Amino acid sequence: MAIVEATGIHKHFGALHVLKGVDLVVEEKQLVFVIGPSGSGKSTLLRCLNRLEEPSGGAIVVDGVDMLSPRTDINKARQRIGMVFQSFNLYPHMTALGNVTLALRKVLGLGRAEAEKRGQAALDRVHLADRAGHFPGQLSGGQQQRVAIARAIALEPRVMLFDEPTSALDPELVGGVLEAMRELRQDGMTMVVVSHEMAFARAAADRVVFMADGAVVESGTPDEVFGNPQHERTKAFIGQIGRH
């Protein structure tokens, strides 16, 4: 069953045509990796899926909900779509637990005790239960990103979107975040990941989508896309990345 079904997504920023009719289907429990050069529109595509960016055209259905219908309560729909950002975006004035429980209390309407129980469980899943009382400024970048993951999974979303989750991290901190993502995947979470972590993509992705200039150039299993790319653009990109 498809959890995410995006068809013919267009996005214009003024005169810029950033997405030119992109299709993306993500099956339940799949991990789909979106790769491509910067400016290819992959982050914009991701941000269209939960309507942080308003698509200029196309259709998006997430878990059976028509995301672009005016009758859809977008705040309700977003509860099923977790998102993790490049710059973590933790709330600096709240503790790790406060970050995780805010939406549980204000969106799901849980009481404090229940919210904190679920928040602690979410922090435990990213192995940060002992940091619940710390403020973001007291955590390393890797820990902050794991708290951000906990904040998203606490709402028990149907799909998780990762927008370059390790790009802002020092190399030695990347491992912990990827480990948390790997564990999520093992627990059966459906995931869409925009990232340059090619080794992780090869090891963990079910499908890899290569984008360039606002369109999908090709997609397939990691072996297909990395091992035997069909298009020149893909070959060039993978060749470049390989040299890093």
Partner 1 sequence: MTWDDFVLAFFSWQIVSEAWPILWDGLQRTILMSIMVVPLGFIGGTILALLSTVHNPWIRWPAAVWTDVFRALPPLVLLIFLYAGVPFTGLEISAWGAVAIGFFLNTGSYYGEILRAGIESVPRGQQEAARSTGLTRWQTMQYIVLPQAFRNVLPDLISNTLEVVKLTSIASVVALPELLFQARQAQSVTYNATPIVAAAVIYFILLWPMVRVLSRLENKALASRR
Residue closer to partner 1 (CB basis): 24 or 225 = 24
User: Nearest distance from residue 14's CB to partner 1, in Å?
Assistant: 16
Residue closer to partner 1 (CB basis): 19 or 147 = 147
User: Nearest distance from residue 76's CB to partner 1, in Å?
Assistant: 7
User: Nearest distance from residue 121's CB to partner 1, in Å?
Assistant: 17
Cβ atoms of 22 and 41 closer than 8 Å: yes
User: Nearest distance from residue 158's CB to partner 1, in Å?
Assistant: 13
Residue closer to partner 1 (CB basis): 35 or 155 = 155
| Residues at the contact surface with partner 1, assessed by CB under 8 A | 50, 52, 75-76, 78-79, 81-83, 85, 87, 89-93, 102-103, 106-107, 148, 151-152, 155
Residue closer to partner 1 (CB basis): 131 or 151 = 151
User: Nearest distance from residue 99's CB to partner 1, in Å?
Assistant: 9
Residue closer to partner 1 (CB basis): 89 or 140 = 89
User: Nearest distance from residue 72's CB to partner 1, in Å?
Assistant: 13
Phi/psi of residue 28, nearest 5 degrees:
-55, 140
Q: Which tokens in the block code for residue 89?
A: 């975006």
Residue closer to partner 1 (CB basis): 61 or 102 = 102
